Structure 1
Amino acid sequence: MANSSSYYVPAQSPWPIMGAVGLFLMAFGAGTLISHGSPGGWLLLAGILTIITMLFGWFGHVINESMSGLYSEQMDRSFRQGMSWFIFSEVMFFGAFFGALFYARVLSVPWLGGEHFHHLSTHEVLWPDFKAIWPLVTTPAGIRTEAMPWQGLPLANTLLLLSSSVTLQFAHQALEQGHRSRVKVLLGSTVLLGFLFLSLQVFEYHHAYTEMGLTLKSGIYGNTFFMLTGFHGMHVFLGSLMLSIMWLRVMKGHFNAHQHFAFLASAWYWHFVDVVWLCLFVFVYIL
């Protein structure tokens, strides 16, 4: 271990700029895919592959530094503060999306329905058949869709994520108690549950598009549904990758009862993702 009074200053790294490029390709590719079709899909795929490469490369770089004993207690505190602020930024990220959902449901829809006005309301002029109820399953263009029920796949995915938090918590406790074989099984189960969640979400999206008519063109309901669940799915994918790397590290003999912050940081992130899903399940699917 490095001296507790020292502070390791990392050298210049290509990983941050690679991550920025990957996020740009993902955002630009997703937008192009929605607007123009297949060309955007290749850009989106390139962005995803860039992010995966960046994650494995950057994690590997930090792992090598940590295993070389370059990090001090002060560096450990920096990691904890950095992860805390990162999760806080994610809270603000989803807070904005939930705010948009709140604005549409609680403010915009009643206003359009003339709830706060006694004179001729907007919808009577622009949209005579408008009904101020949520979800809006009919758009002004006449496109009709179905609302996604909370039973079935959404409920199954909720149980999967809740189970994954339980297995991850027990894996953390096993690591602190020195039961490495138990950690391998429990952490591996968490990773499998995460990827199973993603698989069921893909099936849910396919069902929504092909059988329910619920698409990104389905007005404000379709937009908010796919925006919230889609971005959450992206975070589940990222969390699953992080936990996969932690599982590989456990298999290689990394971590001990007192030094395992990378494992702990990934667990923080995963529990945060689970809490967001519970909010989604209540406000998007049930209410």
Structure 2
Amino acid sequence: MAQQEAPVAYEKYYVPDQSPWPIVGAVALFLIAVGAGNFTIEMTKGKEGFGGYTLAAGLFLLMVMLVGWFKNQIDESMSGLYSAQLGRSYRQGMLWFIFSEVMFFAAFFGALFYARMIAIPWLGGASNNAMTNEVLWPGFEAMWPLVSTPGGIQTQAMGWMGLPAINTVILLISSVTLHYAHVGLEQAKRKQLTVMLGVTILLGCIFLGLQVQEYVHAYRDLGLTLQSGIYGNTFFLLTGFHGLHVTLGTIILIVLFFRVLKGHFTPKEHFAFQAGSWYWHFVDVVWVMLFFFVYIL
């Protein structure tokens, strides 16, 4: 008589109810985009309008969405609604998200490399383009950083010493403190977890504050602005978007910090913390590349 096979056990996959937060987030991002665009135009032309109010409304709505959505996610997790299968889905989703961020920065680094390695040498007469050089930009010297524009705007390059070097050390230390916070969580050392996570958040805030000082120095003392040609464009594009990612990472760590204070996470169940640490370490790696290719080379 053939032996009867045991029934296959399927895990219950939690499907949440309909949520208002995706549409709220979409409206918030729309208001931010429209408001930021109009606010920039108004600032440039010295006019008053509703751009600033639209931008503020979008940012406020975005914060409401984040708080509401985070709360729903945390409540579902703490209620035991998530299964191992859903946990794997979250891990795959986070990895794909970080991969998309890698491609995001790869595009910007690609623009930087194209300008430095192809466009500028070509304008300087490389590859037998001497005539093109004289027609497009007479007297152009192929150099990087490019501190002058065809319109005659002059600027100074941002050196790697000073604030950039300090910020590099700060972010590297923050990766170490976050690692030890993670170790404390895995070893059920709550005090180590809390202290090291708090130090990481503090270092992230210091980094952002110093970056603001760096931008003030660039505009006020170096004449380095968004109007400073390809050098100014790539500088602010890369460092600005990285600063935005540090801001997001700091917000994530702050949310995790308050969850730790409330007793969330266990040595075996703490993917939210793990995902936040993945993101922070990724941001740190991007900064090291920025420091090397934007400031030093």
CA distance in 2, matches of 1:164, 1:175: 16
How far is the alpha carbon of 1:168 from its aligned partner?
0.3
Superposed counterparts of 1:229-240, under 5 Å:
229-240=239-250
1:135 paired to 2:132: no
How far is the alpha carbon of 1:52 from its aligned partner?
2.9
Identify the residue that residue 91 of structure 1 maps to in structure 2.
102
> Which residue, 175, 185, 208 being the options, matches 1:198?
208
Identify the residue that residue 259 of structure 1 maps to in structure 2.
269
Identify the residue that residue 8 of structure 1 maps to in structure 2.
14
> Which residue, 60, 70, 89 being the options, matches 1:59?
70
CA offset digits 1:245-268 (Å, max 9, x no partner):
000000000001000000000000
What TM-score results when the alignment is normalised by the length of structure 1?
0.94
CA offset digits 1:58-95 (Å, max 9, x no partner):
11110000111111111111111111111111111111
CA distance in 2, matches of 1:128, 1:249: 61
How far is the alpha carbon of 1:270 from its aligned partner?
0.4
How far is the alpha carbon of 1:34 from its aligned partner?
3.4
CA offset digits 1:208-260 (Å, max 9, x no partner):
11111000000010011001100110000000000000000000000010000
Deviates more, 1:244-253 or 1:38-47: 38-47
8 Å contact 2:147–2:155 — kept in the other structure?
Answer: yes
CA distance in 2, matches of 1:285, 1:53: 37
Identify the residue that residue 174 of structure 1 maps to in structure 2.
184
8 Å contact 1:4–1:74 — kept in the other structure?
Answer: no
Identify the residue that residue 249 of structure 1 maps to in structure 2.
259
How far is the alpha carbon of 1:18 from its aligned partner?
2.6
CA distance in 1, matches of 2:94, 2:77: 16
8 Å contact 1:29–1:40 — kept in the other structure?
Answer: yes
Deviates more, 1:158-167 or 1:55-64: 55-64
CA offset digits 1:168-199 (Å, max 9, x no partner):
00000000000001111000110111111111
- The one-letter amino acid paired with 1:8 is Y
1:274 paired to 2:284: yes
8 Å contact 1:160–1:197 — kept in the other structure?
Answer: yes
CA offset digits 1:76-134 (Å, max 9, x no partner):
11111111111111111111111111111111001111111154123x12322321101
How far is the alpha carbon of 1:49 from its aligned partner?
3.2
State the aligned residue count: 284
CA distance in 2, matches of 1:193, 1:283: 23
CA distance in 2, matches of 1:220, 1:170: 40
How far is the alpha carbon of 1:32 from its aligned partner?
3.2
Identity of aligned residues (%): 62
CA distance in 1, matches of 2:81, 2:129: 70
CA distance in 2, matches of 1:249, 1:272: 22
> Which residue, 207, 213, 221 being the options, matches 2:217?
207
Change (3 A) 1:130 1:30: farther
- The one-letter amino acid paired with 1:102 is F
Kindly name which structure, 1 or 2, has the bigger radius of gyration based on alpha carbons.
2
Identify the residue that residue 23 of structure 2 maps to in structure 1.
17
CA distance in 1, matches of 2:32, 2:106: 21
Structure 2 residue runs of 5 or longer lacking an equivalent are: 1-8
CA distance in 2, matches of 1:279, 1:43: 35
Identify the residue that residue 158 of structure 1 maps to in structure 2.
168
Identify the residue that residue 126 of structure 2 maps to in structure 1.
115
What TM-score results when the alignment is normalised by the length of structure 2?
0.91
RMSD of aligned Cα (Å):
1.7
How far is the alpha carbon of 1:16 from its aligned partner?
2.0
